[in-house]
Amino acid sequence: MQKYDFLALKSFVQVVESGGFGKAAELLDASTAAISRRVSGLEQELGIQLFRRTTRRLDLTEAGQQFYRDVLDIFQMLEEAEERVRANRANVSGQMRIAAPMSFGVQRLTPLLPGFLQRYPELKIQLLLEDRATDLVAEGIDLAVRIGTLSDSSLIARRIADVPRRFCAAPAYLERMGVPLAPEELSRHQCLQYSPRGAREDWATVFGLAADALPISGPFAANNAEALLQCAIQGLGIILLPDFIVDAALADGRLREVLQPWAPPPFGLHVVRPSSRTVPTRIRLFIDYLIETLGAAPSQPE
């Protein structure tokens, strides 16, 4: 039976999942040349070509696709074996790459991490904070926290908490422009809207109305909640943002909540992970910890 180099197999899998030798090298903390040598050596040992290499693309051959599926099964079985022999969860170790939205990550997630790492001191966490939907497989991310509607059905998702949203404005703005008492009154107000990828958020749908039933406008839009918060505090207009963004400003009086009877349904706070047959203990423990600290019901076995 052929003796395979474990690092070569791991490098091959990472190249496939990250889409290139350079990214695989970064994720495995190795040089691109080292990853290339490992994969080339593996191809020589097998006597087959695993990749079709061009100047622009790197694609698996048919044999490479089959080999990838089989090797992935082997890694999953090894992971299962490792999990079974770890009877003492306090000794769980390894590294996790976790992605989260910027504002939520800074304000809510980061303060929770020291408690988790103190509970499991042999774990290491790399936290990636970005306001975009990261590609978990390509970027080697073990778990992502996402807020709102999920679009990638290839991921395993669990809703762990609700994220209420609130309409708010500065007291000075409300004194100047008046307090809106019903949704239709927003048409005469300055509305500061969240605008991911250039498209402004449609507030009409928040109230269950047709998109053109509530024409609103304002002097400022942004794809960052903190920017909208600061403009609202300065009296520029009305915002609709999650509570973790506005709670402090509401508590100290810099903002006032409006349209409370028409508060929109909360967003879902989800944890998502790549689809696989097994869930490493460290990932399961972290999901349970988030559920524990964020106040949702205990997780069920997956």
Closest CA to 170 of 185, 156, 140, 190: 190
d(CA 188, CA 246): 23
pTM (two decimals)? 0.66
Residues of the chain where predicted confidence (pLDDT) is lower than 70: 1-4, 55, 76, 79-91, 152-154, 196-200, 211, 276-278, 295-302
Domain 89-163+267-294 top-level CATH class: alpha beta
Supply the pLDDT for residue 181: 93
* Start-end of CATH 1.10.10.10 domains in the chain: 6-85
Supply the pLDDT for residue 88: 52
Q: What is the CATH code for 6-85?
A: 1.10.10.10
Supply the pLDDT for residue 26: 87
pLDDT tens-place string over residues 39-76: 998 888 888 899 887 767 788 888 888 888 788 777 76
C-alpha separations of 247 from 107, 172, 224, 253, 299 in Å: 11, 18, 17, 10, 27
* Start-end of CATH 3.40.190.10 domains in the chain: 89-163+267-294, 165-262
What is the separation of C-alpha 169 from the centre of its chain, rounded to a whole number of angstroms?
29
Q: What is the CATH code for 165-262?
A: 3.40.190.10
